[in-house]
Amino acid sequence: IVTISGASGSGKTTIEKILLKRLVNAEVVVSVTTRDKRDTDNQNEYKYVSKLWFRVLDKSGAFLWTGNIHGNRYGTLKSSVKKALKKYDEVSLMILVPDRVKNLWDYAREKDLEELVISFYILSPSPEILRKRLEARGDSELEITKRIKDCEKWDAEALASDLPYIFIRNDDRVENAVEGI
């Protein structure tokens, strides 16, 4: 499992999309979310469900973890992670927030499979570049302001964390970040 983390607008989805095209043996570990589909989402990246259905899945114990990000619920099914960890000949890509990277590493260590996880953190671009990316994505001014502050916080926390991240910067050409991974 290759995890890609980073704050909003750091290029995670674009990087994942390019990796999926380049790596013939790569697929996405599907997450479940209550947020609306975006045109920029990768195919099969999310299963979009209602808040009610998300609660049903959560109460049934189907998720390995859940989270609330920017007012939307996200979760990863236990069955999806177990399946990915059994595919030794394929690359399974996951876009995860830092807390979930820790959960994945804890789970992999518990199963003695940590050698099957590699985690990359995409450092945020400058606030000017980030603003342009978020505007192009269609985010509102209020969302953009909040996300820029969140980016600074997330980057600082990632740099200070004890997670085994490989740090990549995506300031100019996304190809450089992809090559880094």
The pLDDT tens digits of the residues spanning 110-125 come to: 999 999 999 999 998 8
Amino acid identity, residue 85?
L
| Alpha carbons within 13 A on the beta-carbon side of 143 | 15
pLDDT over 80 at 42, yes or no: no
Reduce the DSSP state of residue 104 to 3 states and report it. Answer: helix
Three state DSSP letters for 44-103: CCEEECCHHHHHHHHHHCCEEEEEEECCEEEEEEHHHHHHHHCCCCCEEEEECCHHHHHH
Predicted confidence (pLDDT) per residue in 139-149, tens digit: 889 989 988 88
CA 119 to chain centre: 10
Residue 113 structure tokens: 């499979």
Cα-based distances in Å from 88 to 1, 81, 106, 116 = 9, 13, 19, 8
Q: What is the pTM of this model?
A: 0.83
Predicted confidence (pLDDT) per residue in 47-71, tens digit: 999 999 999 999 999 999 998 888 8
